[in-house]
Amino acid sequence: MKTNAKSFIPFAAIATILLISYILQKGPKTYGSDDSINVYQKFQSGQPIQYLVIGDSIGRGSGAEKPNLTWFKQLENKMNDANDIPLHGDYVVQSGSTAFEGLFKLSKRREHDHKDLIFFVFGENDRKYMNVDDFTMTYEALMRKAKRLHPNAELFTITESSLKYEEFASAIGLLSKHYGATNVDMRPIFKESGYSEKQLTRDLIHPNGLGYKLYADAIYERFLDNIKREKAVAGLPSKMHARSGFELSEIDHYEKMSGFRPRGGYFTSSEKGSVIEYNFKGSMLGVKLLRSPDGGEVNVWIDGNEITTLNTWWPFARERYLFVTNGLRPGSHTVRFEVTGRTKAMELTTIPYVRIASIITD
């Protein structure tokens, strides 16, 4: 009996080791992986992939009937089902956002965990705020910022299916080529799908679940093609746009104020003619404000010249970072925000408020 007991001990130890090894191999994959290799190498070695989306409403999947029908969730499911590769996403997204807003939000993030793959989804809103030169400069600044934060990441630029302005689409394509990023142009894919825009979208702009399936399929196919071609990840060459090397900063101290009152982190007013002024040095200007259901319009003057009128109405309250202008002469400037007393709210009896927190400049 003693001999049998002694022989059983090493057998039990070996069996335990084999069982633990089997569990580790068959157990679910975690999000820990080798960050020294790129996304294509991770895919080929069966490691989890970390991705980041920087974008607008299409970037966040608006229009999908269910959360699992957004383009990124369908992409996750496709990768997992077909290749047993888990994807884990992080999102810097906002409906109505521009590349300027994406750049500012990315710059303000305190944590920058490792990312293997970064998606840029802009264009449809940008053309409402800026010309194509400003867009090219800002989009490139965003790409460079993301690449500096995540040097080993691959970059995918998405040309949105709803983008009708060819010069903006061309800018995305040129920047993608310059940096070696993968551009997925969804416009011809939608057009050649055999489906109408009405069948593929919720409102002729935002894709529905079927439309987002085309997004996921196109991205997946390009990803596999990149592996087949042994594509290198996007690089960080010299700038394409001479002024795209800027960094954004925030100025929250005002120079002059009349009619505005500090309230809830914003300088707030509903009185027509109320003004708040800031001094700044820079060639670019943006503003940090609150858009809300009771948001009103505000005129923007720089150095005595009327530049634009901003609409702060939005169906729900959201802090926003809006592009105002670019190409100002070198030196000091004064920006003046003046409440108009008007609103674009559907309920015209609403008292319009303007809430400004700070200005943003380079």
The 10s digit of each residue's pLDDT in 321-349 is 999 999 999 999 999 999 999 998 766 66
Q: Could you tell me the pLDDT band of residue 24, with boundaries at 50, 70 and 90?
A: very low
- Reply yes or no on whether the pLDDT at 4 is more than 70: no
pLDDT value, residue 10: 52
Return the percentage of the chain with pLDDT > 70, whole number.
90
**pTM assigned to the model:** 0.89
Q: What ranges do the domains of the chain cover?
A: 39-228, 249-361
Mean pLDDT of all residues in 276-293: 98
- Reply yes or no on whether the pLDDT at 17 is more than 50: no
Mean pLDDT of all residues in 106-115: 90
Pairing of strands 117-121, 154-159: parallel
Q: Quick check: helix, strand or coil at residue 75? A: helix
Pairing of strands 318-326, 284-291: antiparallel
Mean pLDDT of all residues in 30-50: 86
Give 249-361's CATH code, choosing from 2.60.120.260, 3.40.50.720, 3.10.129.10, 3.20.20.110: 2.60.120.260
Spatial separation of the C-alpha atoms in residues 17 and 11, rounded to whole Å: 10
Burial class (CB in 10 A: 0-12, 13-18, 19+), 298: buried
Instruction: Locate all alpha helices (DSSP H) within the chain, ordered by sequence.
Output: 2-26, 39-44, 71-83, 99-108, 126-129, 132-149, 166-179, 186-191, 197-200, 209-228
* Residue 54 β-bridge partners: 92, 120
Pairing of strands 182-185, 297-302: unpaired
Mean pLDDT of all residues in 282-309: 98
CATH superfamily label, 39-228: SGNH hydrolase (3.40.50.1110)
Mean pLDDT of all residues in 236-259: 97
Half-sphere exposure of 106 (CA within 13 A, CB side): 31
Report the range of poorest mean pLDDT among 172-186, 195-209, 302-316, 336-350.
336-350
- Reply yes or no on whether the pLDDT at 18 is more than 60: no
313-323 residue pLDDT tens: 999 999 999 99
